[in-house]
């Protein structure tokens, strides 16, 4: 009888562990991206320009390392409450590898009634990719997700923003880190992810000549941060996925793997384009945001 009770106790313990391991694992993942929310943002405005019926504010705020992040905030006319969109740019070979990538698009969305925040990320600095230290990529990646949470803080603390209508739009690196962000940041209620990868090291290993053992060790180190681990955690968050048929960086199988990791509800669209996508993707992205965020029709001229 004693042995039987002991066996039942062990069985209950095993059952408890099996039930709790997923939640414990999720908690550990979330802990990676915790940051000091009480740390002052120190938002400073450099200038403001009226662009018709929206105002573009050139500002900066403190990231988690107390360094300045530069950004544009585009604000509609009126008192709100407005929806809000955080835009995060790509790492491309053009002069739009910075907060200007989505500037025209964000102005149009703002005219429909959404505050837009467009941030400069570290990959906006020319030569950043080739000059970085690969040993820092893991910690760097955690810090960027934390910094994106700081950017959400900036939006959420605006008195004219509806905290239940915050969206995220990211391209390339912006989509890849955005995918991680979705799994740990509940304030994001909608997302557009463009040409992201499910495996974080896919980006960082581009152009490297590591030996197989070094490459395997690097991928193993980075694997806990893979977007595929986080995309399914954003339950009930509508996601629009945009990928290109001629993308030399994101082949079809990677795009499909990325999309399959996303929870419903989601839309998955292909475009006859290269990695930067095209005007059709832009138009459909704006329309999708207008619908999801319940934005008003743009004012007539």
**pLDDT tens for each residue of 186-232:** 999 999 999 999 999 999 999 888 899 999 999 999 999 999 999 99
If asked whether residues 75 and 175 sit together in one domain, one would say yes
**Closest C-alpha to 115, from 185, 69, 162:** 162
CB atoms inside a 10 Å sphere around CB 129: 15
pLDDT digits (tens, 9 = 90+) for 228-284: 999 999 889 999 999 999 999 999 999 999 999 999 999 999 999 999 999 999 999
If asked whether residues 134 and 272 sit together in one domain, one would say yes
If asked whether residues 265 and 222 sit together in one domain, one would say yes
Identify whether 72 is part of a domain. Answer: yes
Length of the chain: 301
Which domain does 264 fall in, by range? 43-292
Identify whether 263 is part of a domain. Answer: yes
The span from the CA of 83 to the CA of 294, in Å, is 8
Mean pLDDT of 92-119: 95
Average pLDDT, the chain: 90
Identify whether 37 is part of a domain. Answer: no
If asked whether residues 191 and 248 sit together in one domain, one would say yes
If asked whether residues 87 and 149 sit together in one domain, one would say yes
Identify whether 130 is part of a domain. Answer: yes
Domains in the chain: how many in total?
2
pLDDT for the residue numbered 22: 45
Q: The whole model's pTM is what?
A: 0.90
The span from the CA of 296 to the CA of 221, in Å, is 46
């Amino acid at each position: 009888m004693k042995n039987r009770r002991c066996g039942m106790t062990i069985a209950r313990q095993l059952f408890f562990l099996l039930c709790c391991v997923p939640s414990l694992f999720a908690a550990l993942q979330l802990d990676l991206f915790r940051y000091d929310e009480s740390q002052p943002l120190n938002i400073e405005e450099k200038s403001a320009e009226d662009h018709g019926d929206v105002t573009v504010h050139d500002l900066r705020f403190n990231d988690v390392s107390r360094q300045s992040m530069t950004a544009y905030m585009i604000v509609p006319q009126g008192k709100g409450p407005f929806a809000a969109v955080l835009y995060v740019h790509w790492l491309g070979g053009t002069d739009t590898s910075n907060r200007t990538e989505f500037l025209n698009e964000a102005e149009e969305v703002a005219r429909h009634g959404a505050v837009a925040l467009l941030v400069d990320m570290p990959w906006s600095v020319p030569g950043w990719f080739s000059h970085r230290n690969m040993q820092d990529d893991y910690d760097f990646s955690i810090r960027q997700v934390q910094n994106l949470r700081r950017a959400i803080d900036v939006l959420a603390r605006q008195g004219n923003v509806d905290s239940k209508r915050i969206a995220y739009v990211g391209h390339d690196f912006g989509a890849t880190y955005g995918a991680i962000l979705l799994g740990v940041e509940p304030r994001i209620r909608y997302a557009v992810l463009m040409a992201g990868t499910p495996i974080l090291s896919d980006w960082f290993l581009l152009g490297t000549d590591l030996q197989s053992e070094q490459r395997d060790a690097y991928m193993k180190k980075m694997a806990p941060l893979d977007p595929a681990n986080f995309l399914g955690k954003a339950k009930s968050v509508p996601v629009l996925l945009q990928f290109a048929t001629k993308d030399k960086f994101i082949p079809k199988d990677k795009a499909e793997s990325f999309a399959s990791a996303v929870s419903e509800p989601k839309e998955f669209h292909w475009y006859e384009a290269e990695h930067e996508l095209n005007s059709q993707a832009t138009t459909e992205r704006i329309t999708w945001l207008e619908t999801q965020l319940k934005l008003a029709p743009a004012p007539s001229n």
